[in-house]
Amino acid sequence: MALYVVPLWLPLILLLALLLLFMKKMEVKRQSEQLLPPSPPKLPILGNLHQLGSLPHQSLWQLSKKYGPVMLIRLGRIPTVVISSAEAAREVLKVHDLAFCSRPLLAGTGRLTYNYLDIAFSPYSDHWRNMRKIVTLELFSLKRVQSFRFIREEEVSLLVNFISESSALAAPVDLTQKLYALVANITFRMAYGFNYRGTSFDRDKFHEVVHDTEAVAGSISADESIPYLGWIVDRLTGHRARTERVFHELDTFFQHLIDNHLKPGRIKEHDDMVDVLLRIEKEQTELGASQFTKDNIKAILLVCCSAFPLSYIKS
């Protein structure tokens, strides 16, 4: 029976190699940190969240006075660069536009946009360029915009007549409410093919969903910023439940629109945006392409739904 003896120097060599590897890794990390912008002191786990007050933009402005116009903070574990001067903003938004043009990939917006299938929140990529091409050429082309001219003329005429009649009766008019209603009526007829005014559509419920959509899309979940414990906070505050509820309500609304547009013998006054998107999906399916699906349609409709301040409309 052969007996193998491990030399005493072998573990020492392995230990030395691991030590050198660790030192090299720490040196690389130290050099990378030297290239980062100035940053205020942070707490473990929370980062700089404790330094943001009830008005975060003012808190960041106060911090920028001390740490400069380009500042690094950590929202929990999320590193965030804060720009606080026109010169730095020009570098970010103009000079290095391609490097900074993508929005942060947040759980809320990812869920609402069917994993970033839209054009507003999708990161800059081949998919974004393809969606932008479809939206630009098919939805917002000069020909398409002109085809909706009669809708705009009808809605503006109705508003002018209402103001004229109210003036004759010396009745006050809330122009803010009426102008928002005008935008909603035009948007719904152009995008969805039905009139926002004078229908059984549940406006109050829709306003609530739009409010919640804006809140979910503009917020960061605790699970994203606080490791290990954030999911507990999300469950206690109801953030995750609200995100799922808003998603299912929007999905149900968009699916109802699509099903109505697919009904045989449907009577329509013009091809709205849903008709155009369904035609694109059908054409790509016939060509054997599967990049444009009904989830893409819903994600684009979400942008149409939230692009206007519908949450302030009260018809």
SS (H, E, C) the chain: CCCCCCCCHHHHHHHHHHHHHHHHHHHHHHHHHHCCCCCCCCECCCECHHHCCCCHHHHHHHHHHHHCCEEEEEECCEEEEEECCHHHHHHHHHHCHHHHCCCCCCHHHHHHCCCCCCCCCCCCCHHHHHHHHHHHHHHCCHHHHHHCHHHHHHHHHHHHHHHHHHHHCCCCCCHHHHHHHHHHHHHHHHHCCCCCCCCCCCHHHHHHHHHHHHHHHCCCCHHHHCCCCHHHHHHHHCHHHHHHHHHHHHHHHHHHHHHHHCCCCCCCCCCCHHHHHHHHHHHHHHCCCCCCCHHHHHHHHHHHHHCCCHHHCCC
Q: pLDDT at position 248, please?
A: 92
Which of 68, 101, 134 is at the close of a domain?
Answer: 101
Residue 96 lies in a domain: yes
Domain membership of residue 88 (yes or no) is yes
Q: Total domain count for the chain?
A: 2
Indicate whether 188 and 50 sit together in one domain.
no
Residue at 294 is within a domain:
yes
Same domain, 75 and 222: no
On whether both 96 and 135 belong to a single domain, the answer is no
pTM of the predicted model over 0.75: no
User: Nearest Cα to 107, choosing from 236, 230, 221?
Assistant: 221
Q: What is the pLDDT of residue 313?
A: 39
Per-residue pLDDT of the chain (315 residues; tens, 9 = 90+): 555 555 666 667 777 777 777 777 766 666 555 678 899 998 888 888 888 888 888 999 999 999 999 999 988 888 889 999 999 999 988 888 888 888 888 888 889 899 998 888 888 888 888 888 888 888 888 888 888 899 899 999 999 999 999 999 889 988 888 887 888 888 888 888 877 665 555 566 777 777 888 888 877 788 888 877 787 888 888 888 889 998 998 899 889 889 988 888 877 777 888 888 998 888 888 776 667 888 989 998 887 665 544 434 343
131 and 94 inside one domain: no
Q: What is the CATH number of the domain that holds 211?
A: 1.10.630.10
Distance CA 123, CA 105 (A): 8
Domain that holds residue 296: 126-312
In this structure, the answer to whether residues 194 and 250 fall within a common structural domain is yes
